[in-house]
Amino acid sequence: MSAQFVNIADLAGLMDDPNVVIVDATVDLAKPETDGDWRGLTGRVQFEAGHLPSAQFFDLLEDLTQGSNDFHFAQPRPEVLAAAVARIGIGSQSTVVVYDNHGRMWAARLWLMLRAIGFDRVLVLDGGVQQWSAAGGAVESGLPATLDPVSEFQPAPRASLFVDKAYVEAVVVGDVDAVLVCSVGADVFSGEGITRYSRRGHIPGSINVPASLVLDDSGQFQGSADVVRQLDQLLSIPGELVLYCGGAISASLLAFGLVQAGREDFRVYDGSLEEWSADLALPMVVTT
């Protein structure tokens, strides 16, 4: 199934469908002020202050990471994720519309997480509460609506979608034939910009394709033809792509753009620079 987004106007036509589950995946990740300044907050407070009608909240930061890794936002085990989404009303017949209030990347992360367990009926909303309200949509506050319980669907994991540090090390030394693609901004990639992680720079051999290319100047999703043009560099590379960023969040947005543009032969390094930079035995490249 191709990556799909839905705009604010079209969402109104889906609101009355009993199989549609709207999910807020917002995380508040502060811009770092100094190197190593990692400040992330669950979006639950923002959700309770205002969310789309009948929306559920999916806590990417506090409730659903794997717990056995030393980095944030780790992909849970398939059965853990399947049980978690069932608790908020997502079943095998559901269509999920996911949104966030910060740049589409958190919604894209949930899209990727669900894709990794074989659940593809996910639409990413091109907007958040502010855009919805500005278009005249009603906004609710407080706790999520109570949905009827659903039977947990059986995950069908795409085992190769996420890769670990050892796999990336093998790419770096040439034992695995793949191209590393870093989706952070150019200043962070070069090492000129402040990083919230342990060291500045990027993994050796990487190319830089910022995830922001998936969005237009107003922060909305590019249309299919435009995203193909913006990602032409990646679409023309033969072989496997391994996407990463700081914490595999903007890499998820880039993955969404790639699928929208028709390319699905990629993997995502889940630990990304948070894990890689913390291992002082691993090389980092600074190009300033």
Per domain, the residue ranges of the chain are 4-134, 162-278
Is there a common fold for 4-134 and 162-278?
yes
Q: Is residue 95 a contact partner of residue 56, using CB atoms and an 8 Å limit?
A: no
Give tens-digit pLDDT for 179-219. 999 999 999 999 999 999 999 999 999 999 999 999 999 88
Write down the architecture of domain 162-278 according to CATH.
Answer: 3-Layer(aba) Sandwich (3.40)
Q: What does the block give as tokens for 140?
A: 């609710």
- Contacts by residues 13-19 (CB-CB < 8 Å, ≥ 24 positions apart): 14/95, 14/97, 15/53, 15/54, 17/95, 19/93, 19/94, 19/95
The per-residue pLDDT for 62 is 76
Encode 216-250: b = buried (16+ Cβ within 10 Å), e = exposed. eeeeebbeeeebbebbeebeebeeebbbbbbbbbb
Domain 4-134 has CATH 1.10.3720.10: no
Give tens-digit pLDDT for 55-113. 999 999 877 655 556 678 888 889 889 888 888 889 888 999 999 998 999 999 999 99
β-sheet bridge partners, residue 73: none
Percent of the chain surpassing pLDDT 70: 95
Decide: residue 5, CB within 10 A, 0-12 exposed, 13-18 middle, 19+ buried: buried
Q: pLDDT band at residue 1, thresholds of 50, 70 and 90?
A: very low
β-sheet bridge partners, residue 41: 28
